[in-house]
Homo-oligomer: A and B are copies of this chain.
Amino acid sequence: MYTGVVDTRERLIESTRTLLWERGYVATSPKLIQQAADAGQGSMYHHFTGKEQLALAAIERTAEEMRRQIDALLDGPGTAVERIATYLRREREVLKGCPIGRLTQDPDVMASPTLREPVEGMFAWLRGRLADVVSGGIAAGELSPGVEPGATATAIVAVLQGGYVLARAAADTAPFDQAIEGILALLRSQGIAR
C-alpha cells in the first residue's frame, strides 16, 4: 500500500504505478487500486473516468521518470561503452521486470491505442538515445566504424528486456547479469586500441 502523505489523486496514481508493475493491467482491478491507495470507489471515479485513464496517467509518469534516469546515466562521464555499461549495470529490481516492457505482454494494453502509445514512445526514444551514444563512440574513435549504431542499440535494449524475462523465468537475477556481461564483452571487443 502506498503511504506517502499526499492527496488522494496522487495516491491513486502511485498505487496504480506499483500494481501495473507487479501485476500488469488486466490483472489489476479498480478495487485493488482503491485498497492500495486507501481511497473509495467514489474517489477514484471522481478523479478519473475509469481504469484506463488512471493507468494512462500512471504509465506516462513511469515513462517520464525512466527517461530522466536514463538521460542522467548516459550523459555521465566516460567513453561510450563505459556509459552504456553504467546504464546496463545500474541497480534494478530485476525480478519485478521492466515496468514499461512488461506492458507489451498485456492483451488489454496492446488492444488500447491510448495505452500502447507511451509504451511505443518509450522504446523508440530509448533505441534512438542509445544509437546516438554508439554513434558518438564511433565518431570519437572508441568504436570500430564497422559497428552499426541502430542495430547495436536495439540489440542492447533487447538484451535488457530479455534479461528480465530470463531472470523471472529462473526466479534468479543471475541470468540477467550474465546477459548484460555477455553483450558488454562483445561490445568491448569492438573497441579500437588507442
Contact (Cβ within 8 A) B104 A165: yes
Closest 4 CB pairs of A and B: A155-B182, A158-B162, A162-B162, A161-B162
Contact (Cβ within 8 A) B155 A183: yes
Segment among A2-10, A19-27, A45-53 that sits at the interface with chain B: A19-27
Contacts of A182 on B, CB cut-off 8 Å?
Answer: 148, 150-156, 158
> Interface readout for A142-173 with B: 1 if CB under 8 Å, 0 if not?
00101110111111111111110110111100
Contacts of A162 on B, CB cut-off 8 Å?
Answer: 157-163, 165
Contact (Cβ within 8 A) B110 A168: yes
Q: Is A178 an interface residue (CB 8 A)?
A: yes
Q: Is A120 an interface residue (CB 8 A)?
A: yes
Taken together as a complex, chains A and B put the C-alpha atoms of A101 and B162 apart, in Å, by 9
A128 to chain B, nearest CB (A): 12
Q: Is A17 an interface residue (CB 8 A)?
A: no
Contact (Cβ within 8 A) B27 A108: yes
